[in-house]
Structure 1
Amino acid sequence: MKVPVSVVILTFNEEKNIRDCIESILDFTDDIFVVDSGSTDKTLEILSNYPVQILHNPFENYSQQRNWSLKNIKFKTEWVLNLDADHRATKEFKEEVEKLFLNGIPNHINGLLTSRRTMFMGKWIKYGGHYPTYHAALFRLGRGKCENKLYDQHFLIEGDTLKVKGDIIDLITESLSTFTQRHDKWSSLEAIQQFENNLNKKDIIKANVTGNPIQKRRFYKNIYEQFPLFVRPFIYFFIRYFLKFGFLDGKRGLIFHFLQCFWFRFLIDAKIYELKKNSNKF
């Protein structure tokens, strides 16, 4: 069954991912859009074989690209699902959304929360507090937007949200080289964000320990950022890998949790230190 949901996919040189992403939603919707930011590989050639509409827009950052898409696409439906090319909609997720639309979604519900199932080196990362991790990627048009952050952006929903059973698979890396290159770039964005601390508070998710899963996650991240540089990565890794049983993910889990929970966070702190040093803020 196809549901009244439009899908937006962001692409840039995604020839290795885009086919499987599109095919995971062909039985789910008839309204698929791809916003490409200048692919030079076979991404557009592959897309020409599918019933999708392609738009082009230069990439500035994730928030800008998502919000540009929401403002400029002429959707057929009231609901929009936002995906990346390395995402896959699972059968369970699609069936759950179908049931919700068949039964009728209450008017006060403006967003649906679904968990990401992170796949790293072919393994599902289940432990270390990494699953379930909820995102509000599906919401009513006009009731959701991407928060104005350089990194770690979530969708800000106006109104109530509802958890959805079933996951969106997230293939976060094709190789360790790609993984570390991306995280090097993202660490720079996060370092600048924390160093400048000049976010427009009206355009970000409010931390709330009693709120929805995204608000709770933001609450704990804010606490993390209050800890001293270079101390907090050790604490974070210890909690994730030992107290939240990250070690149960095996050898590939060790690689993931060390790189994502320690190395990446330590690199952020090192770049914040560098920014402070260069600005004489010590």
Structure 2
Amino acid sequence: MNKNFSFVILTFNEEIHLPRLLESIKNLNAKTYILDSGSTDKTLEIGTAYGAEVLQNPFENHPKQWDHALKNFQIATPWTIGLDADQIVTPELFRMLANFNNDEYRDINGIYFNRKNFFQGKWIRFGTFYPFYLLKMFRTGVGFSDLNENMDHRFIVPGKTEIWKKGWLLEENLKENDIAFWKSKHERYSDLVAREELERMQKLRVQRVTPNLLGSPDEKRAWLKRLWWKLPLGFRPYLYFSYRMFFKLGIFEGATGIKFHYLQGFWFRQLVDKKIKILQKQADKI
């Protein structure tokens, strides 16, 4: 059994995704933990067949689900790797993990993987989506889930981090090939994001990550989010979509990529802003 790291995976009806992820990591011989939020398909059966330890917990949001996983699994390895079920460890990342030696990372508490995001079979290369570094590997008991986020989840570690620029993690949600599924999913997400932003306006939430445009990938994103929250509602989706399409070259993505940028960078953001305005009106009546 791998003595350096363990995997933790969140699932919900992931029978289409989980086998490919578990196949991509099985030869690393690492202990695998799955926290499921009530799957009704073969997800649990698949996880058990691969030797994973499985627990269940009702889903509220991703940050709280990750927090529950990290606090309730008895992870014995010095490092933890948190993955989503629709992700795959590439051969390049596999080799880096296979050669990982804890003794060489004594002064490091977290490692960023470079994600390649796919939509309907298309690698989304432009429009801010590549390179995209995610803190996915961290010292057990040191890294934790950021509960100040309501939808986007991130792990936080104090101290030094390192970026693996060529250790790619592929992410492709095959269920999102159905646009109706994509829209339904993001309708739910928009409720979470709108509520979160209103609570930030009310000073009920604060950023745990220090905003720094020149800092770590998460510090940079925190800086950009802080800027985003200052922009006028209703106007900012137009500004953001234009930024992704022209300044970040999303226009060269092709038809599928442009559709993704429109849905994720404009339609979804506009929906969030509309729901924030509704929540503000409701709050004013109280």
TM-score when scaled to structure 1? Answer: 0.93
- 1:15 partner SS: coil
Q: Give the counterpart letter for 2:182 in structure 1.
A: F
Is the 8 Å Cα contact of residues 63 and 152 (structure 2) preserved in structure 1? no
Structure 1: gaps (5+ residues) = none
Matched residue, 2:159: 159
Is the 8 Å Cα contact of residues 3 and 28 (structure 1) preserved in structure 2? no
Which runs of 4 or more aligned residues in structure 1 lie more than 4 Å from their structure 2 counterparts after TM superposition?
Answer: none
Is the 8 Å Cα contact of residues 110 and 143 (structure 2) preserved in structure 1? yes
Is the 8 Å Cα contact of residues 127 and 245 (structure 1) preserved in structure 2? yes
Matched residue, 1:208: 212
1:191 counterpart (183, 191, 194): 194
Is the 8 Å Cα contact of residues 205 and 215 (structure 1) preserved in structure 2? yes
Is the 8 Å Cα contact of residues 3 and 29 (structure 1) preserved in structure 2? no
Matched residue, 2:221: 217
Is the 8 Å Cα contact of residues 115 and 170 (structure 2) preserved in structure 1? yes
Q: CA deviation at 1:106?
A: 2.9
Partner Cα separation in structure 2 for residue 47 and residue 150 of structure 1:
27
Matches within 5 A, 1:25-40: 25-40=25-40
Partner Cα separation in structure 1 for residue 245 and residue 5 of structure 2:
38
Matched residue, 1:131: 130
Deviations 1:21-44 (A, max 9, x none): 111110123301111121111112
Q: Give the counterpart letter for 1:225 in structure 2.
A: W
Partner Cα separation in structure 1 for residue 9 and residue 177 of structure 2:
19
Partner Cα separation in structure 1 for residue 104 and residue 193 of structure 2:
36
Are 2:8 and 1:8 equivalent residues in the alignment? yes
Matches within 5 A, 1:73-152: 73-101=73-101, 104-148=103-147, 149-152=149-152
Q: Give the counterpart letter for 1:167 in structure 2.
A: W
Is the 8 Å Cα contact of residues 48 and 54 (structure 2) preserved in structure 1? no
Q: Percent identity?
A: 38
Partner Cα separation in structure 2 for residue 155 and residue 199 of structure 1:
20
Are 2:254 and 1:247 equivalent residues in the alignment? no
Matched residue, 2:281: 277
Deviations 1:83-120 (A, max 9, x none): 11111111111212334427x33322100001221110
Structure 2: gaps (5+ residues) = none
Partner Cα separation in structure 2 for residue 242 and residue 108 of structure 1:
40
TM-score when scaled to structure 2? Answer: 0.92
Matched residue, 1:265: 269
Q: Give the counterpart letter for 1:110 in structure 2.
A: N
Q: CA deviation at 1:48?
A: 3.0
Give the aligned length.
Answer: 279
Q: CA deviation at 1:3?
A: 6.3
Partner Cα separation in structure 2 for residue 153 and residue 40 of structure 1:
24
- 2:26 partner SS: coil
1:237 counterpart (233, 236, 241): 241
Partner Cα separation in structure 1 for residue 212 and residue 30 of structure 2:
37
Deviations 1:154-199 (A, max 9, x none): 1111111000122111113242122111111111111111112145
Partner Cα separation in structure 1 for residue 60 and residue 159 of structure 2:
28
